[in-house]
């Protein structure tokens, strides 16, 4: 029900129903309201968390002497985290084999 007309062949199934009134009730309940500003910065917050996590991963790997990344390799924080998690999964699989 998105405000379109109902085809005549299914009109018998919905006879007696007040579609316009019901649609108005539903749309009033489901209507998106103005955001209070909290949602608008979620992406920025997630990006900061990813940056911090990627930095922590790099520092930990450096302490352990593990070279997982090339020195001049330009990776996004998400790519760093994904590569790190993939290496952990690979280690787990190798231990189980």
DSSP string of 45-88, one letter each residue: HHHHHHHHHHHHHHHHHHHHT---S-TT----HHHHHHHHHHHH
* Residue-number span of the structural domain to which 86 is assigned: 39-96
The reply to whether 26 falls in a domain is no
The reply to whether 9 falls in a domain is no
d(CA 48, CA 42): 10
Rounded alpha-carbon distances, angstroms, from residue 50 to 14, 37, 61, 68: 51, 22, 16, 18
The reply to whether 73 falls in a domain is yes
The reply to whether 78 falls in a domain is yes
pLDDT tens for each residue of 21-39: 777 777 777 776 666 666 6
Q: Tell whether pTM > 0.85.
A: no
- DSSP-derived secondary structure letter, 10: G
The reply to whether 33 falls in a domain is no
Q: What is the largest CA-CA distance in the chain?
A: 75
pLDDT tens for each residue of 6-24: 666 666 556 666 667 777 7
Helix, strand, or coil (residue 42): helix
The reply to whether 46 falls in a domain is yes
């Amino acid at each position: 029900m998105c405000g379109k007309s109902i085809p005549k062949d299914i009109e018998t199934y919905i006879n007696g129903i007040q579609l316009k009134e019901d649609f108005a009730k539903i749309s009033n309940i489901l209507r998106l309201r103005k955001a209070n500003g909290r949602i608008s910065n979620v992406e920025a917050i997630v990006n900061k968390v990813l940056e911090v996590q990627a930095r922590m991963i790099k520092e930990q790997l450096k302490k352990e002497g593990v070279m997982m990344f090339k020195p001049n390799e330009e990776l996004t924080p998400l790519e760093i985290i994904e590569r790190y998690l993939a290496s952990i999964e690979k280690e787990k699989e190798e231990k189980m084999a």
